[in-house]
Amino acid sequence: MPRAALAVAVLLLLAGCGEAVASGGDEKVPAAWLVIPHEAARETAYFAGGCFWGVEAVFEQVAGVAAAVSGYAGGRSDRVTYKEVTAGGTGHAETVRVVFDPAVVSYTDLLRVYFSVIADPTLRNRQGPDFGAHYRTALFPVDARQARQARAYLAQLERAGVYDRPIVTTLERARPFVVAEPYHQDFARRHPRHPYIVRHDAPKVAAFKRLFPELAR
């Protein structure tokens, strides 16, 4: 293998969010009772749910989503790197910024997808094979309207007993969002055969398409 190609291969293997494990048991959670219409042409929402590769990969499949960008949120600094975040201590979580058309897909639709196939909200500071506060499940409402809907939906899921354990997903104040390094963007689409994607994130995308055909592109 040429030296340049070997360097790229090593980088991709080391850049992963963790060792891959198979995922399963995805179920469609109930639709939200509280849906507050939004008349703007564009809306932005932030979701942290473990490795951002899989979060981004699922949301990119949702009709009405114009962009899904991997990055870091929840920390105080607006200048941070992947190495610093994964070392711990910055307060950031791997997060995806989702820009969408609320006339096509609602914020609560995205919440339903998130809790159905993207994240296990009962796991504290971990998702699948990935451990640490930077892999926590968190929502970052951008305004009072999103905060009200997110809070109501979390309470609805708890009351309905959807999960066997308490939900630990946090609602956090929106702080500066730091866009992740270029090699993280569209990672699943660009590297569909990467072991982590095949064994951990591709099943999430498949589960989304199976459970939400009405929301898929």
Q: Which of 32, 48, 51, 188 is catalytic?
A: 51
Mean pLDDT, the chain, rounded, equals 90
In the chain, where the domains are located: 3-211
pLDDT, one tens digit per residue, over 38-87 is 999 999 999 999 999 999 999 999 999 999 999 999 998 999 999 999 99
Residue 51 designated active-site = yes
Structure tokens at 100: 């969408």
* pTM as predicted: 0.90
pLDDT, one tens digit per residue, over 90-109 is 999 999 999 999 999 999 99
| Rounded Cα–Cα distance for residues 47 and 202 (Å) | 18
Structure tokens at 84: 């610093």
Angle formed at CA 181 by CA 83 and CA 22, multiple of 5 degrees: 75
**CATH homologous superfamily, domain 3-211:** Peptide methionine sulphoxide reductase MsrA (3.30.1060.10)
Q: How far is CA 81 from CA 4, 56, 63, 197, in A?
A: 24, 18, 31, 22
